[in-house]
Amino acid sequence: MITEIEIEGFKSLEKVHLKLGKLNLFVGANASGKSNFLEALRVLQGIGYGFKINEVLNGKPKSATSEVWEGIRGGSRYATFSARSKPGLEAEREIKLSTVLKVGDSQHQYSVSIFKNGIRSEALDREERTVPSTLAFSFLGQIPQSPLFQVHEKVKRALSNMQKIDFDMATLRAYSQDSVAQRIGERGENFAALISKILMEERLKKAYLSWLSQLTPMELEDVTVLPGALGEPLFALKEGDNVLPAPILSDGTLRFAAITAAFFQMDMPDIIKIEEIENGIHPSRLRLLVELLKSQSGGTGPQVFATTHSPVVLAWLEESDYKTTFFCRRDEETGASIIKPLSEIPRLVELVKNQSLGELFTEGWMEAAF
C-alpha cells in the first residue's frame, strides 16, 4: 500500500504531496489532473516491472516475458510539467516520484527521478534503517545479496502489482480463453474464467451473487457460466427459468458485475485503479458501488484509486472518508493541478451538515473554496 506520495514535474502535477488511505477518490472537473495522478502511478508500475523509461512512457509491444504495455497519454513528449506562462522552458525538467510504501509489516521509501535519458531510483527501509544514506544505494543496491537490493526488489514488486480497470464491453461479453482464471485482465479478459473460479467456493459465490442482486430490479436467481464449443466459459445470469448470457446484458449490469468480480480475484493486486467509476451505472445504484469500494478496500483488501464526476458518489461518503477524497483543480495562472483532501477545504465539514456534498460539488463551490 502506498501511504504517501510526492509527484514533481509530471504532466499537470507541478508539485503534489498526498497522504493516502485504502480508498482514494479523486474528484474534479475535466482536465483537472485526476487522470494525470493515475498515470503517475502507472509510471511507477512500469518502473516496477523493470521496463526502460522510454517503454514506460511511450509503450512497449508484447514480448516473451510481458504483455503489451500502453504508454501514458501523449508519451514522453508531454510527460513533463510545463507552466502555461513559460511554455517550453521546462521541457528538460526532471520528473520526481517519491512514495512511502507499506509492504507487509515494513515501511519503505522509494524515490524515482526521471531524466530525458534514464532514471535513478533510491530505496530506503524506513524501519530497519539498513541504509545510512541514499548515496549508498547506488553501489550496494546493485549487489543481489545485499539487503538493499532486496528492499529495492520488494518495493518494485509491490509497485508492479497494480491493476488498472478499464473494461471493454465487447471483451466482457465474449467467451474467456481460459476455463478458470485467478485474475481478470485490464480490458476484462478472462472475466468469465474468473467467475468460474468464484463459483467454485460457495461462500464467495453467495457474496458475489448478493452484490449483483442488489443492483438489478429483476429477481436474480443465480450467476453462472455457459460453456462454449471447447468448454470456454461465458458469463451469464439466471432470472427464474431465463438464462441471460453476457451479450444481452446491459452495459451497466455487466460493468458492475466485472468491477465486483475484480474484488473477488484469487490473485488480488495490491492496488486497483478505476477511472470514472460511475460509468454506465444508474445513480440510484451508486450507493452500492461506494459501499463495494469502501468495504472491499478495507482490511486486507487492495488499495483503491478511483476518479469520479458524480455528485451522487460524493453524497454517500462519510466525514471519515474526506481525508482521502481529493478535490482537483487547475491553477489559472500556471495550469498546475492543485489537489487537496476534502478534509482540508475550509468550512466544508461545517457546510455539509446542512447541505449535500454532492450539491456543493455540482454548484462549483469547491473550485473557489481554496
Partner 1 sequence: MSFDVLVVPEDPANNGYILKPLISRMLAECGKANARVTVLSNPRTKGYEHAKALLRNQLFLRYRHMKLILFLPDADGKNREGEFQALEDEANRQGVRLLCCAAKEEVEVWLLAGYRDKLEQRWQDVRSDTSVKENVFQPFLAAYGNPKAPGGGRDLLMAKMLSSYGALLQLCPELAELERRIREILS
Q: Decide if residue 312 touches partner 1 (CB under 8 A).
A: yes
Q: Which of 102, 287, 323, 340 binds partner 1 (CB under 8 A)?
A: 287
Cα gap 313→287, rounded to integer Å = 7
Of 263-282, which residues contact partner 1 (CB under 8 A)? 263-264
Cα gap 247→244, rounded to integer Å = 8
Q: Which of 150, 356 has the CB closer to partner 1?
A: 356
Number of C-alpha atoms within 13 angstroms, CB side, residue 143? 8
Tell me which DSSP letter residue 318 carries. Answer: -
Q: Decide if residue 203 touches partner 1 (CB under 8 A).
A: yes
Q: Decide if residue 208 touches partner 1 (CB under 8 A).
A: yes
* Contact window for partner 1 (CB under 8 A) among 76-84, 129-137, 231-239, 292-300: 292-300
Cβ proximity of 124 and 134 under 8 Å? yes
Least gap, CB of 300 to partner 1 (angstroms): 10
Q: Decide if residue 299 touches partner 1 (CB under 8 A).
A: yes
Q: Which of 109, 296 has the CB closer to partner 1?
A: 296
Q: Which of 53, 237 has the CB closer to partner 1?
A: 237
Q: Decide if residue 117 touches partner 1 (CB under 8 A).
A: no
Of 227-266, which residues contact partner 1 (CB under 8 A)? 263-264
Q: Where are the beta strands (DSSP E) in the chain?
A: 2-10, 13-19, 23-28, 95-103, 106-115, 118-125, 162-165, 220-227, 233-239, 242-245, 271-274, 303-308, 325-330, 337-341
Helix (H, G, I), strand (E, B) or coil at 150: helix
- Sequence-distant (6+) residues with CB within 8 A of 84 are 333, 334, 335
Least gap, CB of 206 to partner 1 (angstroms): 6
Q: Decide if residue 211 touches partner 1 (CB under 8 A).
A: yes
Q: Which of 208, 326 has the CB closer to partner 1?
A: 208
Q: Which of 81, 208 has the CB closer to partner 1?
A: 208
Find how far residue 270's CA is from the centre of its chain: 10
- Sequence-distant (6+) residues with CB within 8 A of 76 are 53, 54, 57, 58
* Contact window for partner 1 (CB under 8 A) among 17-25, 72-80, 201-209, 325-333: 201-209
Cα gap 158→153, rounded to integer Å = 9
Least gap, CB of 349 to partner 1 (angstroms): 14
Q: Decide if residue 142 touches partner 1 (CB under 8 A).
A: no
What the block records as the C-alpha cell of 114 is: 526521471
Cβ proximity of 69 and 164 under 8 Å? no
Q: Which of 87, 283 has the CB closer to partner 1?
A: 283
Q: Which chain residues interact with partner 1 by CB under 8 A?
A: 203-204, 206-208, 210-211, 213-214, 263-264, 283-284, 287-288, 291-292, 295-296, 299, 312, 315-316, 356
